Amino acid sequence: MARLPIYLRALTTLAEEAVTTVSSEELASAAGVNSAKLRKDLSYLGSYGTRGVGYDVDYLVYQVSRELGLTQDWPVVIVGLGHLGHALANYGGFASRGFAIRALVDADAATVGTEIAGLRVRHLDGLEEEVRKHGIAIGVIATPAPVAQEICERLVAAGVSSILNFAPVVLVVPDEVEVRKVDMSIELQILAFHEQRKLGPERHGRLNDAVAELADAVST
């Protein structure tokens, strides 16, 4: 149910605009999906709509939040406070969405001890203690790629079972640990791929090899 957070965001926006009721058509277009898909997705949570009317916005916000586990606050640790970790620590979107950054950890002596977003950065040595002390279940890895796997293993050993990985590596974890990854280079590369396609039909792997062959055949 990777789309629930998008629905929740659209619903929250509607609630702020004092909208009380929304149809699947309206909500779907706000979320950028097909309305049948939205209805099917919501139907997995239960029958929270009213036929002929639509969905009650506040009620649906609550139900979706509950399904996502956002009726409680999840304590989070950020490992690695370079530019990215710094940006993450300061990102306001977390607190308002059910997450509480409880610990910041870094290996760099110049960073350790500084205060970021109201929290003091602790040395990497204290990682396990911080995880246990705050009952942290979600770890964010914003370290350089070469150390990400090691940090990941330490997080898992300390009891973390969900990891959000910003380092450009494929993390190896036990089956019961959930990993999500965010890789900006990969997103840009996907865009570059589409840009290239737009430039013209020349040189596009096998498709164009076939075209070239055809052109050859025709010209002879």
Contacts with DNA, residue ranges (CB under 7 A): 22-25, 33-37, 39-40, 42-43, 47-55
Q: Which stretch binds its own copies (CB under 8 A): 18-26, 81-89, 123-131, 211-219?
A: 81-89
* 28-57 positions binding its own copies, by CB under 8 A: 30-32, 43-46
Beta bridge partners of 165: 141, 181
The partner in contact with residue 149, picked from its own copies, DNA, none with C-beta cut-offs of 5 to 8 angstroms by kind, is: none
Q: Which stretch binds its own copies (CB under 8 A): 15-23, 53-61, 118-126, 177-185?
A: 177-185
User: CA-CA-CA-CA torsion for 37, 39, 41, 46, nearest 10 degrees?
Assistant: -170
**How many CB atoms are located within 10 Å of the residue 96 CB?**
8
38, two tokens? 């939205």
SS3 label, residue 121: strand
Least Å from the CB of residue 84 to its own copies = 5
On whether the CB atoms of residues 31 and 10 are closer than 8 A, the answer is yes
Please give the Cα distance from 164 to 154 (Å, whole number).
14
10 scored as a contact of its own copies (CB under 8 A): yes
Please give the Cα distance from 206 to 69 (Å, whole number).
46
Least Å from the CB of residue 3 to DNA = 8
**How many CB atoms are located within 10 Å of the residue 148 CB?**
22
Which residue ranges make up the site for its own copies (CB under 8 A)? 1-2, 4-6, 8-10, 30-32, 43-46, 66-70, 74, 76, 82-84, 86-88, 90-91, 93-94, 97-99, 137-138, 161-164, 168, 170, 176, 178, 180, 182-199, 203-206, 209
